[in-house]
Amino acid sequence: MLRMIFVFASAETAAANVAGVPAIARVAREAASAAKDLSDCRVIVFALPGGNLEDDWCDSEISRLAPDLAKCFIATEELVPTAGDLFFAGEILLAAGNIVAAHHQLKTAAVEARPLETLNQVLRFHEQKGSAGLLGLLRQSGRAIIRNTAKASDGIVSRQFNRLISNRISMVLLQAHSVRPFHATLAAALTALLMFGCLASGTFAGLIAGAVLFQLASVIDGVDGEIARATFRESRIGATLDSLTDAVTNLAFLVGLGLSLTQQGSSNALAIGLAGFACLGTGLALLGGHATISGRPVNFDALKHVVRRQQSFWGDWLIWLTMRDFLALASAVMVMLGFGYQFLKLFALGSLMWLLAAMVFVFHDFLQTRRKKNQNKRSDCPIDTAP
């Protein structure tokens, strides 16, 4: 039986925390995925000194990510290479595609008769790197994994500023084995609550603190997604909670900013904030309901997808300038410069325009869906060909 053998230098490197997942569990997931793409059946084996990895966290994560590989261990010193064996240094954390490519390369190179040479290469690699070097390599991989959790749909502020902070927060949080995406979502919600409390205080210091906390909530908003993608814990419920938290935070900021400015002498600020709240809330309800009816998790990005399909330079900028990350940073800057009232009016006006666009989109999509249903009904009707 052909084997894929992933050799770890020690139990310490095998159990190393790589962006919230043990190194060996990451390898197990990629190996199981690669095995599905191989034409010939290969047994997957993990080799390490002593052959035992007595670590409950590793066991549970392997069971979660690759349940069929939970007990595939062997002592390195007991390895007896056979023709066709394929050896890998576990600490390199090869992706499934690279494992498949190595398998094909081994077959075309016709080196099956020299398996011991491949094992010796892995052992020499471990010796050259040493324990400190291998752990450093795994830490570097963890940082790269977190960086790669950024989304293609990120706005300018998220790409250039927010992700630099949220990545570091995620790396710190993921040192704890029990951390979950929900913890970051909860932290964002608590930040929003504190934001509203500061704004409602009616003081100038509370106004500044509230604007800063609005920006901080925007930064923390990226953490739950980073944790979910880094640890393979993305879920429909998580995406819905994240979207709802964002929406409530935006609504709370509109009302809170209006309330704060009113208490400081702007007589119609609260009315403007409430008007913006009504427009934004109605638009969110329309798009959220549309997503639910369409069978998708609750989200409010349908308009963005429509604009992006046009592949327009100005359309991209329109999206970036109306995204939550830009608005949060702009609010913090304008409030600190004394332009909070002007920002509130712009936010409320933007909410009205966004509501109108949402209404047009939902109505147009409703008409299209109804037209398609009518066409399908007509096509399903039998044609009477009797004379």
pLDDT band at 101 (very low <50, low <70, confident <90, very high): confident
Nearest alpha-carbon partner for 195 in 228, 230, 219: 219
Whether the pLDDT of residue 119 is over 90: the answer is: no
Per-residue pLDDT of 237-284, as tens digits, reads 888 888 889 989 999 999 999 999 999 888 899 999 999 899 888 988
- Domain spans, the chain: 2-147, 156-376
Instruction: Give the strand pairing for 17-18 and 21-22.
Output: antiparallel
Give the mean model confidence (pLDDT) for residues 2-29. Answer: 94
The pLDDT value given to residue 113: 41
- Enter the tokens of residue 27: 């390898």
Cα angle 37, 26, 236; round to 5: 85
pLDDT per residue as tens digits for the range 283-332: 888 888 877 777 766 666 666 666 666 666 665 666 767 788 888 999 99
pLDDT of residue 303: 61
pLDDT of residue 242: 87
Ranked by mean pLDDT, the top range of 81-95, 168-182, 229-243 is: 168-182
pLDDT in tens, 218-238: 999 999 999 999 999 998 888
Reported as a single tens digit per residue, the pLDDT across 41-56 is: 678 999 999 888 888 9
Yes or no: say if 39 and 72 are a contact pair by the CB < 8 Å rule.
no
* Other beta carbons less than 10 A from residue 337's beta carbon: 10
DSSP assigned state of 125? H
pLDDT at 112 over 50: no
Mean pLDDT of 327-346: 92
Residue 383 reports pLDDT greater than 60: no
Q: Rounded to two decimals, what is the model's pTM?
A: 0.84
**Which CATH code, of 2.40.50.140, 2.60.120.10, 3.40.630.30, 1.20.120.1760, is assigned to 156-376?**
1.20.120.1760
Residue 168 has pLDDT above 90, yes or no: yes
What's the whole-number average pLDDT of the chain? 86
Q: Residue 96 has which token pair?
A: 């499934």
Q: What is the Cα–Cα distance from 301 to 119, expressed in whole angstroms?
A: 50
pLDDT over threshold 90, residue 21: yes
If pLDDT is split at 50, 70 and 90, which confidence band does 114 have?
very low
Q: What percent of the chain has pLDDT over 90?
A: 51
Neighbouring C-alpha atoms within 13 Å toward the C-beta of 115: 15
Q: For every residue of 210-260, which 3-state class applies, written as one string?
A: HHHHHHHHHHHHHHHHHHHHHCCCCCHHHHHHHHHHHHHHHHHHHHHHHHH
CA gap 28, 63 in Å, rounded:
9
Q: What is the pLDDT of residue 386?
A: 46
What separation, in Å, do the N-terminal and C-terminal C-alpha atoms of the chain show? 70
Tell me how far apart the alpha carbons of residues 175 and 130 are, in angstroms, rounded to a whole number. 23
Residue closest to 342 by CA, chosen among 330, 354, 353: 330
Task: pLDDT band for 385, please (50, 70, 90 cuts).
Answer: very low
| More confident call, 284 vs 139 | 139
SS3 320: helix
Q: How far apart, in Å, are the Cα atoms of 209 and each of 66, 67, 189, 202, 221?
A: 46, 48, 16, 11, 18
Length of the chain: 387
Residue 25 has pLDDT above 90, yes or no: yes
Beta strands in the chain (DSSP E): 2-7, 17-18, 21-22, 42-48, 73-75, 86-89
Q: Which residue has the higher pLDDT, 174 or 86?
A: 174
186-225 pLDDT, tens digit per residue, is 999 999 999 999 999 989 999 999 999 999 999 999 999 9
